[in-house]
Chains A and B, each alone.
Chain A
Amino acid sequence: MSTGPYNYSYIFKYIIIGDMGVGKSCLLHQFTEKKFMADCPHTIGVEFGTRIIEVSGQKVKLQIWDTAGQERFRAVTRSYYRGAAGALMVYDITRRSTYNHLSSWLTDTRNLTNSSTVIFLIGNKCDLEGQRDVTYEEASKFAEENGLLFVEASAKTGDNVEEAFLETAKKIYQSIQDGRLDLNAAESGVQHKPSQPGRNNLSNDQQTNRDNCAC
């Protein structure tokens, strides 16, 4: 029996963003449960998942926030970007509109996260080759122009799902290693020690009770 360390030394916060119906929750589910969730309901809110992975021999706990994609929630979901070490930006290769909206998602990400946040572009539903609406080449070019990591993945078959999450972690780890990511900064999205999930900007202690509240 190996006596290796089972505990984790880092927590990385991820967010998953992108238009409604591109498969964000399915990607999360595939990654945490290794299963495809058919008939996944729209996320109304922010789902939360965790998994412990190993990066360069270090155990890392990923805290993944899967956000609602509907446009009407956009203003609210912006609250969740802060403090993300990794952002998985997802579009659906069979729906061009979801690809066209990427620049707006990217703008949000750039504005609301810090410069060392790793942004990974995922073209989901690559199992539906017949319905492809966005070519690999153009997305790849978009990613390159904007300095994003990129894969096409399928939450259904699991293709490249693991890779996207792990590559992001590796990249974050690299940033820590290179000193580009300041671990002491509250917004780095990386923590040394485990704690309950929580966000800087929505912390409960900032809550102001209204005068007319019966509580």
Chain B
Amino acid sequence: MLSIQQDVYNIVQAKFLAAEIVKSIHLNVSVVDGPLENNNRILTLVEYNKSFALFVLVSSRVQPISFSDLSIESVIPLDQNFSFETEPVRGQNYVILIIRYKQNRYEFKIEIGKESCNFAAEIIHAKEVSLNSSTNFTWLEKYFGTMNQTNKNSNSSINDQNDFVIIRDGMAQGQASINRESMLKYQLKLREPEFTQKQEFTIFVGTWNVNGQPPTASLKSWLSCVETPPDLYAIGFQEIDLSKEAFIFNDTPREAEWQKSVMDGIHPNAKYRLVALSRLVGMQLAVIVNNQHYQYVKNVSMDTVGTGLLGKMGNKGGVAVRLELHNTSLCFVNCHLAAHVDEFERRNQDYKDINARMNFRRNPQAIKDHEQVYWLGDLNYRITDLTNLQVKTLLQRNEVTTLLRSDQLNQQRERGNVLLDYVEGDIAFHPTYKFDLNSDIYDTSEKARPPAWTDRILWRGKGIHQVHYKSHMELKISDHKPVSALFKSEISVVDQNRYRRVHEDLLKKMDKHENEFLPQVTVDQNEVVFNSVKFREPQSREIIIANTGVVPADFEFINKLNESTYCKDWLRIVPYCGSINPGEKCDVRLEVNLETDLDNIDDILILHLKGGKDMFITVSGSCQKSCFTQSLSTLVRIQVPIMHSKKEDFNSARNNQSPILYSVPRELWLLVDHLYRHGLKTRDLFESSALHEELIRIRDWLDYGSQDPLPGTPQAVAETLVLLLSYIKEPVIPFELQDVCIAAASNFQNCRQLLIQKLNDIHRTTFIYICMFLQELVKHSNDNGYEPKTLASLFGDILLRDQIRNAKPQASRGKANFVYNFLVNDLSSSLIPK
């Protein structure tokens, strides 16, 4: 392998993973029918675990210097759908490589030689290996995302519809990262002075209308007229072929002939390489660079615009090449504008059309957007208002300046009609048109056209200094004389080290930015402590979530792993989600409401910021015991109010280890007894809702005990009774018995049997005790308005409480029926334990 190829090989390999081995590469491949500049493809054969694929890489530089210069245009797996062949082109030193994959067809021009033979052999071998082993192409999937959209679009020969070669640009790279990319480019441009320095390059620009003649004379006197070899040449011709064939098919052997003549004629003291050759019918533009600068030329692109017949044919118009030399964008435009003295307006229009229609399909796309533009060609502007004789007389007297006042281009530029912001150097040479062939004599034919400065070179951009601007009388084969201009142009040259530093710095800043743009909030407390939380006496604390970041923060309390709610059931968070703008706050209320028997409350809340961090908020507190959340069997074992019971006594009562002291809980008896005495005649005893404070007072009276009489109205006491029965740890009719009780509800004897056989003494006694009280109420129904049915329906849901509150509302009727039995039948002593 040549050393250049070895270098590129290493760069290409870097584009892939280590296990993906680049087996073979082919450089300088161009796409058939694609624009000429596209010889920057690199065909790459890659193997991963005996499966092969062909990658079409596009290099943004003529010769890549880093893997980042390469983008993947297509990925073609070498499976059974893959086939290829080569097609020689007569008289050419290249072949067309045709690759088929399913319904897609790719065509590439590759030069015939050892490299192409080897490459083809590798593909044949790879295909054999691929087919003989069970290959897996999943490793290719990741590359679909890296394929280059821009290149893809500009390449007409590759079918975008391919079902395997998918473009995944948009998919793989989210909106955010696209912004990131443009941001980085923008920032890099802003900081360009930090990592570039201006360096002067010599640019030789030449233009010649060759009048359809073949190159029979050496161009040395024109192209090598300067002492030091220029750094870059831009040589434009017009009318290299005036044949119909050239006009119609846009194909001419003259292209190669003139190009060879240019390569032979450029400065002998340096080696040059062609960067781009753009041609439309007779207009041809070659950009050639001194070898030492070749690697700094990148993003070469070209386009042509026809403004001739029908406004679009290529007999007139412009051809252009754009490129970046180091860090400066250059554009060269070679034009041939409309002919004839009177057609200056047509010429102005051609100029406008060229500007409007020239599109390089990469940034910047238009001529005007380039930092430096060199405009050359046969602009065809004539000398007006002077006869042929007058012109010639002035020329004999060498009154060029006088004559230039009659130059249409100068006049039109002064009026702002054409090449407005371009600069042209002083013209010190005589008109370059029109000469008798092979002479220095102006047109002596019948038409006797007056001489004119048709061939011109202008420029636009900063840091451009013209060194010379002249015509070359030695070349006589055309009716025009060639013109040349030498420029010393300032080019921004990147200092790689400084560039890397700036680039790194920007990346770092952007990472930092990204982190700064994460939502940020603070909470004023991470630990919320509640003191002695009491039964059904809600307490709340506020926490303040403040948005201390620069973006709106969407917060939400989220579930912990394996939990179905974001907080425990004794806690309520209001609001549990929301959005806070930067600098603003949100008060979140944490409300504790205890309805079960807990010694302590404890929870860790996860406050999640959408797209950001999570914060933990610990909620804790101690709870106060209450009779309301105990079980019947605990309550009947406690002699004193629950708050006065000693810890050991309470614990042994809770564990059913101490003796039963009461047949029904003391607290229940106190409430029922109070109602016996004060509430039997109270209308709607169970229906009015008592004040919260009243209930709290009764709760405390029960839990703490007191010498004072039971506080509160009969309704409040009745409501407390309902609460007690609703919250005791197990309902009076335990959960597991409820279904059978409901099933037995139609028959009192069965209900009675169930009660005797299944219910333990404490629960049975309590149940009967309640029912007897309810029967007593019924006896006073004239006063209190309660019928057995009403009471049964009310107490059915309480005495046979659902495990999860109101889980089975459809069972209410059955529960009521069950209780009803005990309100209308005689509760004989046999139900009471002996």
Interface residues of A (CB under 8 A from B): 1-9, 32-34, 44-52, 56-57, 68, 72-73, 75-76, 78-79, 177-179, 183, 192-198, 201-202, 204, 206-210, 212-215
Q: Does B171 contact A (CB under 8 A)?
A: yes
**Would you give the 0/1 interface string for B589-625, flagging 1 where the beta carbon is closer than 8 Å to chain A?**
0000000000000001011101111111110000000
Binds A, one of B95-103, B264-272, B511-519, B752-760: B511-519
Whether A76 touches B172, Cβ cut-off 8 Å, given contacts A33-B515, A207-B558, A214-B572, is no
CB contacts (< 8 Å) of A198 on chain B: these are 611
Find out whether the CB atom of B515 lies under 8 angstroms from the CB atom of A32: yes
How many Å from the CB of B136 to the closest CB on chain A?
9
| Closest chain A residue, CB of each to CB of B507 | A52
**Would you give the 0/1 interface string for B796-815, flagging 1 where the beta carbon is closer than 8 Å to chain A?**
00000000000000000000
| Closest chain B residue, CB of each to CB of A31 | B511
CB contacts (< 8 Å) of A209 on chain B: these are 576
Which of A1, A34, A195, A201 meets B174, CB within 8 Å? Answer: A195
Name the prevailing secondary structure of the B interface residues.
Answer: mixed
| Alpha-carbon separation in the docked complex, A51 to B55 (Å) | 30
Q: What are 17 A-B pairs at a CB distance below 8 A?
A: A1-B327, A3-B69, A4-B66, A6-B177, A7-B178, A9-B146, A48-B518, A73-B616, A78-B561, A79-B606, A179-B139, A194-B174, A195-B174, A196-B610, A202-B559, A208-B565, A214-B574
Q: Does B503 contact A (CB under 8 A)?
A: yes
Which of B60, B67, B613, B617 meets A48, CB within 8 Å? Answer: B613
Find out whether the CB atom of A45 lies under 8 angstroms from the CB atom of B611: no
Find out whether the CB atom of B560 lies under 8 angstroms from the CB atom of A5: no
Within 8 A of A (CB), among B661-710: none
Q: Does B769 contact A (CB under 8 A)?
A: no
Find out whether the CB atom of A76 lies under 8 angstroms from the CB atom of B560: yes
Find out whether the CB atom of B616 lies under 8 angstroms from the CB atom of A76: yes
Find out whether the CB atom of B616 lies under 8 angstroms from the CB atom of A207: no
Tally the A-B contacts, defined by beta carbons under 8 Å: 155
CB contacts (< 8 Å) of A49 on chain B: these are 515
Which of B66, B68, B145, B604 meets A9, CB within 8 Å? Answer: B145
Find out whether the CB atom of A45 lies under 8 angstroms from the CB atom of B177: no
| Closest chain A residue, CB of each to CB of B136 | A179
| Alpha-carbon separation in the docked complex, A183 to B139 (Å) | 11
Q: Does B575 contact A (CB under 8 A)?
A: yes
| Alpha-carbon separation in the docked complex, A212 to B19 (Å) | 57
Name the prevailing secondary structure of the A interface residues.
Answer: loop
Find out whether the CB atom of A192 lies under 8 angstroms from the CB atom of B576: no
Find out whether the CB atom of A202 lies under 8 angstroms from the CB atom of B608: yes
Whether A46 touches B613, Cβ cut-off 8 Å, given contacts A9-B145, A177-B18, is yes
CB contacts (< 8 Å) of B17 on chain A: these are 56, 177
| Alpha-carbon separation in the docked complex, A3 to B615 (Å) | 40
CB contacts (< 8 Å) of A75 on chain B: these are 560, 604
Which of A2, A34, A45, A47 meets B508, CB within 8 Å? Answer: A34
Find out whether the CB atom of A215 lies under 8 angstroms from the CB atom of B575: yes
Find out whether the CB atom of A50 lies under 8 angstroms from the CB atom of B514: yes
CB contacts (< 8 Å) of A44 on chain B: these are 526, 615-617
CB contacts (< 8 Å) of B613 on chain A: these are 45-48
Which size class do B's interface residues fall under?
A: 35 or more
- A-B contact sample (10 more), CB < 8 A, given A1-B327, A194-B174: A7-B177, A7-B180, A46-B614, A50-B515, A56-B18, A76-B606, A183-B142, A192-B145, A194-B176, A204-B610
| Closest chain A residue, CB of each to CB of B503 | A2
Whether A68 touches B616, Cβ cut-off 8 Å, given contacts A9-B172, A213-B572, is yes
How many Å from the CB of A45 to the closest CB on chain B?
4
Find out whether the CB atom of B559 lies under 8 angstroms from the CB atom of A207: yes
CB contacts (< 8 Å) of A47 on chain B: these are 613
What are the 9 tightest A-B residue pairs by CB atom distance, in nearest-first order?
Answer: A4-B68, A45-B615, A79-B561, A48-B613, A46-B614, A7-B177, A194-B174, A6-B181, A44-B526
CB contacts (< 8 Å) of A208 on chain B: these are 559, 564-565
Q: Which of B60, B565, B575 has the most CB of A within 10 A?
A: B565
How many Å from the CB of B277 to the closest CB on chain A?
23
| Alpha-carbon separation in the docked complex, A208 to B565 (Å) | 6
CB contacts (< 8 Å) of A33 on chain B: these are 512, 515
Find out whether the CB atom of B558 lies under 8 angstroms from the CB atom of A202: yes
| Alpha-carbon separation in the docked complex, A5 to B15 (Å) | 11
Q: Does B566 contact A (CB under 8 A)?
A: yes
Which of A1, A73, A214 meets B494, CB within 8 Å? Answer: A1
Find out whether the CB atom of A206 lies under 8 angstroms from the CB atom of B572: no
| Closest chain A residue, CB of each to CB of B171 | A193
Find out whether the CB atom of B615 lies under 8 angstroms from the CB atom of A215: no
How many Å from the CB of A161 to the closest CB on chain B?
14
Q: Does B14 contact A (CB under 8 A)?
A: yes
How many Å from the CB of A49 to the closest CB on chain B?
6
| Closest chain B residue, CB of each to CB of A33 | B512
